[in-house]
Chains A and B, each alone.
Chain A
Amino acid sequence: MNGAAPLALKVNGATHVVCASADTPLLYLLRNDLALNGPKFGCGLGECGACTVLLDGMPTRACVTTAKVALGHEITTLEGLGTRAALHPVQQAFIDEQAAQCGYCLSGMIMTTKALLERDPHPSVETICRELSRNLCRCGTHVEIVRAVQRAAELLATQKPVQETADKEARA
């Protein structure tokens, strides 16, 4: 491919410069250039959701999002949520509920959930199923995943006041 140029991507809070064509799918840059494992290649067509990352907090299918589209936006991957030592509540909830069989769709499920709960902290089961309806899972982990989203909502609700207090203290 011609036209490789330095591209500055804002990923998980840091800016990374990669050299590639601006038409390159964001997914390849995240995986191959930045060695991030969270977003997975699933279909290359935006159908299955395995590659979901957040752009300014909105879920996007990284396999069909070109670098050009992503430039200038804050990109968040699974790795940007938390680590094993400091799990994000949504990750914690998915582990608590054992919401994975093979786990290939897991990152996309977690990222979509993260965005949903930002927008709707207490979603109904119907809302959860609607929001995740285009994230495909072959193993049939749906029951555990829905529970994980509900648990994540609970964890966030209990942690939020703590976080707000901490923020207030930080400001003070």
Chain B
Amino acid sequence: MTGPDFSVDRRAASPSRKQLYDAQSVLIVMRPPQAPVQPAAGQPGSRSSFVPTDADMFLAVRDDGSVIAFNGHVDLGTGIGTALAQIVAEELDVPLTRVSIVLGHTNETPNQGPTIASATLQITAVPLRHAAAQARQWLLEQAAMRLGVNVEKLDVRDGIVFERDDANASGSAKRIAYGELIAGQRIELQLTTDAALKDPAAYNIVGKRAPRVDIPAKATGELSFVHDVRVPGMLHGRVVRPPYAGIAQGNFIGNSLLRVDEESIRDMAGIVKVVVIRDFVGIVAEREEIAQQAAKRLDVQWKTTEALPPLDTSEEVEAALRANPAKRRELLIDGDVDAVLSRDPTRTLNRTYVWPFQMHASIGPSCAVADYRDGALKVWSGTQNPHSLRADLALLMGMNEAHIEIVRMDAAGCYGRNCADDVAADAALLSRAAGAPVRVQLSREDEHAWEPKGAAQLMDVRGALSAEGELAAYDFATRYPSNDAPTLALLLTGTLSGEPQVFEMGDRTAVPPYDYEAMRVVCDDTPPIVRASWLRGVSALPNTFAHESFIDELAVEAGADPVEFRLKHLRDPRAADLVKAVAERAGWQPRVREATDANTEAHEQSDQGDIARGRGIAYARYVHSKFPGFGAAWCAWVADVEVNRRSGELAVTRVVVGQDNGTTINPDGVRHQIHGNVIQATSRALKERVTFGGNAVTSQEWGAYPILTFREVPVIDVVMMPRHGEPPMGAGESASLPGAAAIANALYDATGVRFRRPPFTPETIRAALADAQAEKAAARRKKRWRLGFLGAFAAGAAGWLGALSLAPSALAPITPPLASAFAPELIARGKVLASLGNCAVCHTAKNGVPNAGGKPLETPFGTVYSTNITPDAQTGIGAWSLEAFVRAMREGISRDGHRLYPAFPYTSFKNTSDDDLNALYAYLMSQTPVRFRPPETKLPFPFSARPLMAAWNGLFLGRNTFTASATQSAQWNRGAYLVNGLGHCSACHTPRNAFGAEKSGAAFIGGGSAEGWEAPALSSLSNAPVPWTEDELFRYLRFGHAPLHGVAAGPMAPVVADLAALPDSDIRAMATYLASLAPVEPNVDVAAMARQYEAASTINGAPSSVGARLFDGACAACHHTGSGPQLFGAHPSLALNTNLHGATPDNLIRVILDGIGSPARPELGTMPAYRDSFNDAQVAELVSYLRQQFAGGKPAWQNVAASVARIRATASAE
């Protein structure tokens, strides 16, 4: 631990239940300890029968007038804590600010089951309200005694009881505060439900705006979130999940680990423990970044597991759902549906709707802190179900629930069950193994891949109209793969088997709200296909999508206006009121259209060119819990859309949304929930679909799972139905239900095409609209550029062997000279020259001592390890005389006479002047000697025969010899000397022949390779879209960033970093020389050219391909062209980037896989690596898109996926 320890308790905590129980001067309302309510069969929830020893406390009023209320549910970001405080404050008549709410903490709050189904206000708030009423009643009775006034004459305001008639008599003694009534007593009331509740007509607090109690802390960085919990001695954990990401049923679960090689991270300092329990693998480290790195590096081998069915397309999802074994439940049989359906086949519709797998997609990946000690476990968690989690942890750890405490902290909004429980269990296991508190933070990839998904769903509907156009029959079958997602560690450790459990969860809002003559509603319960849990509007949202799309189709069949048609058949008067109110606010004009084919010209008058506009309505009431369930709020949407028929782009421009949630507790809170539901439901309808590949979820970051952004948010107009006094209804998810159907109906209104398979991406819309032609790039063949390294060297080599009569001789070793033997100025000059030569770049191993060698350099002939060039006599160059050094630099011969490979660029260094070699020698010999023997270079035969290099030198050493030009300026000559001497630019930037020698003539500096990267041509062969000018070259070499070309990355980044040692004049000279190799035509305006390229590559409209979406979500925050934020660092224009214009995608692939962790200059900023976030197919999609979008019409690269696989197989350059 290098960081300080910080206690978790930084905010003033409320007294605990125990303290309140033991306190004097307190009124408490409680209930004897009791066993938890067992969930109904087929429903989620804990099976625990744990009975706590302490009584459940609901409310405490203290003698200072403060009130503490306890609720077993948690605040998932909906502001429920504020609403509950309002209910308590109202019923007790105390100011809202005096009430604090304790939520979810297992040692404090009653077990009221999981926080699901928007049921907190509707169900779990009820006992709290009764408790407050009971407390108020007792206090009034006390006051009546004390004041000697009949209780009927008393009233309360702000926690002060007063005689009603006496209210205006100032100074009257006939008033007393709650605190005074409680002082000196301990009052314990058993919770009952018979105290009179306040008349809603008298409400002062409920129904009024109340600011959320948690926002100031969150806006200032105070402790709120589980992510911010720090406990003394805390270590950091990361988990390594199995490759079957996101799948949690099957006999391979918990049985797939082959081997964990701890040696693979042995060299990392700060690792505390590697924990392996069957398929559970975790790492504990002292620091978070170490745990994170170690989790990436740890070598873990897994068995291959059975494949998922294909789930790429909606049709495949449908096939997988149909193929899953199902058990049918008949929910509602009303009349003889089959008979009615067969009456008139021409009036019968048969439709299938398919909902995709979606994600909770919390912005913060789940996190937990666990502290296991002395047989007790304390966990800080963002769980949705603290009491269920406690039972899970007891099972996992073999503990009694009495010894487990869950402290519920805020977490990132999830709207269902994400990985919060999983990570709590991970932390518990790691804490016990490490013997210390452990914080586990899931990675983005962990969370995306493993969070239990919102299940896909299949709805088959048959329906018919009567001859009169009335609703005749509705035959509805919904099929929902189960969403039991046992806490992952229970499965991975083998505590629970991977046998799938089947829940009965597909029946929410399965019955349509319309009055059909005959109806049959069935639910097919099927086991999970992928790991799934409940997600906002669980099963009700897809069911509503089907009901409300279908009724729209029937309205068209009936030739009726969709609003009028609904109103005619809605059974529930509150629903009808709502639909009317929403239609009125939206300014709904009756729209009757005939059922048409997609591409008739019968579109709306408002159409302009490619843009079609439409409007749709949908209505639903969310019915939660097991069928028949409880109704929550009523909701209706009118959505306006604009769709571009050519591009398929869809925008939801305005949503009028109405809700009837009974009594509104906090209007602001409800309004925000409605906004949130509208935005999230729009996002789900337009964009969201989990992708799968092979055996796993492949949506592992925001590019592969995009959600709605600011620029796509519709104008939202909220209609809140005045229902004060009616029971409050859950408002957390109702408003999401009608969204997809309203949008689909609006799409139909705009285009005449029905969309029954969300998400409505541009591709699906374009494909469905027959007149939209998908652009097909002609498959232009381009011969792949390859380095033509041949094995032919061996054949020709034999003949040369005869020429090798004279091997070079060893030069006598010397005693290493003292640094003081060299003039300081000489050493200083040598140091600059060493930077120019980038000596340390190659002669330093990763994390090694500078210049001590050992860096592996990949060549076509094998791996060459760089040597130690510190002045150590035994392992370095300490015994080298100046003569030996100069010979090595100019002839490639080591002091002992063995020949060096031209990976050491003596072919360039030979051009260095005596003076400069002298200075470089002085510098190198004055370094601190390091005793380190790098690995020996062992090339395969024949390259292992170093004497062959004599022949090689005979052929090639004479090439590219620099001589000063009398016709050029001094600056040019200086540049040429630097570039072609120690700078050895050509070593990477010139192609090599079959013998590994730089080509000459026109090929000089015409593009080569370095460490697997393409080193672009600096000559007229350059692929750069905009020619390099001297100024751009100067900026690039000086600052690592040329605005019209890009940044130095890959092996060039450290080169530029080294060049920082050179004066501007030398950099300018190099630029002058290099610019002369590819002179720019005098009339060319490079800035204008650049603008043209950028303009041509401007992205218009929404991303409409996989690659475009990946770019938009993953890359565009930095690489946007004016459409995003201004961020720190260089954000190179991709349109001008040479790598996008090159012959091969290799550099681009490398930079995507490995990022730019070490920029040439820090101020350029870094780029993250996507190796662990994208699979090969995704990188290929992205790369192909980038080429198409930014490379100015250059032909597509071929076989990109194969290149990605090849490059991925090479080690990261970092």
Contacts and interface: CB of A to CB of B under 8 A. Distances in A.
Interface of A: 1-4, 18-21, 23-25, 28, 31-38, 40-50, 55-56, 58-61, 63-66, 68-72, 77-79, 81-84, 87, 91, 94-95, 98-107, 110, 112, 115-116, 119, 128-146
Nearest to B1170: A45
15 contacts: A1-B270, A43-B365, A44-B1168, A49-B1125, A59-B1128, A65-B1129, A78-B220, A95-B219, A100-B212, A100-B219, A106-B215, A116-B1125, A130-B1125, A135-B1125, A142-B708
Interface stretch (B407-415, B831-839, B949-957): B407-415
A60 B675 contact: no
Contact of A112 (B78, B413, B1125, B1170): B1125
Interface in B458-502: none
B287 A20 contact: yes
A45 B444 contact: yes
Interface string B1154-1174: 010111001101111010010
B288 A91 contact: no
A60 B1129 contact: yes
A84 B224 CA distance: 14
Interface in B276-335: 287-290, 293
Contact of A55 (B709, B713, B1128, B1167): B1128
Nearest to B221: A38
B228 interface: yes
Given A4-B2, A98-B212, 6 more contacts: A20-B2, A38-B221, A69-B1163, A98-B672, A115-B1126, A134-B1117
B72 to A, nearest CB: 20
Given A4-B269, A78-B221, A134-B1125, A104 B1166 contact: no
Nearest to B676: A140
A69 B1162 contact: yes
A138 B362 contact: yes
B1125 A133 contact: yes
A64 B1166 contact: yes
A81 B221 CA distance: 10
B363 A137 contact: yes
Nearest to B448: A43
A-B pairs with lowest CB-CB distance, top 4: A102-B77, A140-B679, A102-B413, A140-B676
Contacts of B1168: 44-46, 63-64
Contact of A44 (B6, B443, B710): B443
Given A25-B289, A43-B702, A143 B716 contact: yes
Contacts of B945: none
B363 A94 contact: no
A78 B218 CA distance: 10
B1118 A46 contact: yes
B288 A28 contact: yes
Nearest to A142: B713
Contacts of B269: 1-2, 4
Given A23-B1157, A25-B289, A119-B1126, A69 B218 contact: no
A36 B78 CA distance: 25
Interface string B1-12: 011101000000
Nearest to A1: B290
B227 interface: yes
B963 interface: no
A131 B1124 CA distance: 5
Contacts of A41: 227, 364-365, 367, 441
A95 B216 contact: yes
B525 interface: no
B417 to A, nearest CB: 15
Given A42-B364, A102-B411, A133 B701 contact: no
A81 B500 CA distance: 50
Nearest to B217: A84
A140 B1117 contact: no
Interface string B243-276: 0000000000000000000000001111000000
B822 interface: no
B211 interface: yes
Contact of A35 (B6, B444, B711, B1128): B6
A45 B702 CA distance: 9
Contacts of A142: 675, 679, 708, 710, 713
B518 to A, nearest CB: 39
B1116 interface: yes
Contact of B3 (A1, A32, A87, A132): A32
A142 to B, nearest CB: 5
Nearest to B1169: A45
Interface string B830-865: 000000000000000001000000000000000000
Contacts of A135: 710, 1125
Given A1-B293, A129-B711, A56 B219 contact: no
A128 B1113 CA distance: 18
A37 B680 contact: no
Nearest to B715: A143
A39 B236 CA distance: 18
Interface string B206-234: 00000110111111111111011010000
A4 to B, nearest CB: 7
A110 B219 contact: yes
A21 B228 CA distance: 22
Contact of B4 (A35, A44, A78): A35
B759 interface: no
B225 A104 contact: yes
Contact of A105 (B363, B713, B1118, B1162): B363
A68 to B, nearest CB: 5
Given A35-B6, A41-B365, A49 B676 contact: no
A101 B675 CA distance: 10
B596 interface: no
Nearest to B666: A98
Contacts of A37: 221-225, 227-228
B740 interface: no
Nearest to B290: A1
